[in-house]
Amino acid sequence: GFSDKPLDDRRYTPDALADQLVGVADRLGLGRLLVVGHSMGGAVALRLAARQPERVAGLVLAAPVGFGGVNRTRWLRALTPSVVEPYLHAFGTRALFALALRMGYGTLGTPTARDVDEYFAASADPRLLPALRRVAHAFDWECGPPASLGRVACPVHVLFGARDGVIREPVTRPALARLARATAEVVPDAGHVLPEEVPTVVNRTILGMAAEVLPPPRR
């Protein structure tokens, strides 16, 4: 949570974030990628795979935005008009971070005090909450252009939490069906924070996709 937080709405669109991902990959000298995206990262991964299909070998998406069915964003936008931005610091309490994190979990477990502390630590930067407000308003939380999903040529495996309060899995099925090579799995009792709730499932899925789409490592 200590990366830069520019207060520029244009930096938080799916296209802008996909461009940043490409920039990082280019700087690291990476070619074809297996891209893993959680939540809004799923929409960014989809946008990259649609725009540069030759660059993406496979996608693993955990509780992804980008297929519609996203809950809570409308009231979040309604409660955070631009006029409240100077006052957001008053709401950046540890208790609020703890509540938000607990709401992300299903019934498999609860976040630990250390988990809450690690999320809350980023609030030491006074730009955090203003940047999050801008993300809420600038990012496309629903389904991207239908034609763009049809351009995703690589294998895609999607993980949903059965008790996810953010992503409504049944609503995502029409958009998911537009992907040519997609499989989906619903994890019982899991919520939205799949990498923390069921890391074994997420890691197994990533390793399986890597074995399918990437060349074996050189020994």
User: In sequence order, which ranges of 169-198 are alpha helices (DSSP H)?
Assistant: 169-176, 194-197
One digit per residue, the tens of pLDDT, for the chain of length 219 reads 778 899 999 999 999 999 999 999 999 999 999 999 999 999 999 999 999 999 999 999 999 999 987 888 888 899 899 999 999 988 899 999 999 999 999 999 999 999 999 999 999 999 999 999 999 999 988 876 777 899 999 999 999 999 999 998 999 999 999 999 999 999 999 999 999 999 999 999 999 999 999 888 777
Residue 129 exposed, middle or buried by CB count within 10 Å (0-12, 13-18, 19+)? buried
Q: Say how far residue 163 (Cα) sits from the centre of its chain.
A: 17
Residue carrying the six token digits 């502390």: 117
Torsion sign, CA atoms 53, 56, 58, 60 = negative
The DSSP secondary-structure symbol of 181 reads T
Return the pLDDT at 2: 78
CB 194 within 8 A of CB 161: yes
Torsions phi, psi for 182 (to 5 deg):
-110, 145
DSSP string of 97-163, one letter each residue: HHHHHHHH--SS----HHHHHHHHHGGGSTTHHHHHHHHHHHS--S---HHHHHT--S-EEEEEETT
Instruction: Name residue 97's beta-bridge partners.
Output: none
Q: What is the pTM of this model?
A: 0.92
Residues facing residue 70 across a β-bridge: 167
State the chain's maximal CA–CA distance in angstroms.
Answer: 57
Note whether 189 and 165 are within 8 A (CB).
no
Amino acid at 17: L
Per-residue exposure over 21-42, b if at least 16 CB sit within 10 Å of its own CB, e if not: bbeebeeeeeeebbbbbbbbbb
Identify the pLDDT of residue 91: 86
Give pLDDT, residue 69: 78
Which residues on adjacent β-strands are paired with residue 161? 187
At residue 204's C-alpha, the angle toward residues 68 and 176, to 5°, is 20
State the Cα torsion 170-176-182-188 to the nearest 10°. -20
